[in-house]
């Protein structure tokens, strides 16, 4: 008779131990899954920002990705010489066009035609 209650207690203790281990493994798996997908999502998105800044020749822009300078443009691209943008708004307009190209997986290059379309320069390549 002494053997039966001991086996019952031991069997019950084993079941509790096994359930404890299973619960721990499930919890560990949930934490690992959460950490993996949180880190994956963090790298799927990059914060991109355009800032205008004054230069000796006018205005320039820079494109920041996650707070770090990715592109710094001190002068109007695609035209000869080092001419700054006349206004902050012009610099931001071109900077945002560069970001748009990056978002569409295009090279962040601005052409003369695009500068003319944005009215940054006129047909004679004079800066507006």
Measured distance between the N- and C-terminal CA atoms of the chain, rounded to whole angstroms: 103
Give the number of domains in the chain: 2
Both 40 and 52 in one domain: the answer is: no
CA dist 21 → 13, 18, 30 (Å): 12, 5, 14
Evaluate whether residue 98 is within a structural domain: yes
| Statement to judge: residues 53 and 102 lie in one domain | yes
Q: How far apart are CA 12 and CA 1, in angstroms?
A: 17
Residue 125 lies in a domain: no
Q: Provide the pLDDT confidence category of residue 42 given band limits of 50, 70 and 90.
A: low
Q: Which residue has the higher pLDDT, 53 or 27?
A: 53
Q: Residues 61, 91: one domain?
A: yes
Contacts within 8 Å (CB) and 24+ apart, 116-123: 118/90, 118/93, 118/94, 120/76, 120/85, 120/90, 120/93, 120/94, 121/76, 121/79
pLDDT, tens only, 8-27: 567 888 888 888 888 888 88
Q: What percent of the chain has pLDDT over 70?
A: 88
Q: Which domain holds residue 75?
A: 48-117
Distance (Å, whole) CA 52 – CA 93: 10
Q: Are 84 and 39 members of one domain? A: no
């Amino acid at each position: 008779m002494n053997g039966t209650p001991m086996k019952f207690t031991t069997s019950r203790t084993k079941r509790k131990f096994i359930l404890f281990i299973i619960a721990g493994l499930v919890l560990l798996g949930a934490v690992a899954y959460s950490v993996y997908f949180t880190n994956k999502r963090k790298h799927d998105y990059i914060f991109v920002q355009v800032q205008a800044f004054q230069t000796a020749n006018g205005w320039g822009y820079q494109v920041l990705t996650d707070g770090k300078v990715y592109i710094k443009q001190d002068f109007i691209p695609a035209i000869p010489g080092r001419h700054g943008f006349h206004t902050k708004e012009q610099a931001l307009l071109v900077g945002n066009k560069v970001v748009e190209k990056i978002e569409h997986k295009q090279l962040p290059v601005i052409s003369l035609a695009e500068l003319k379309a944005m009215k940054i320069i006129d047909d004679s390549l004079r800066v507006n």
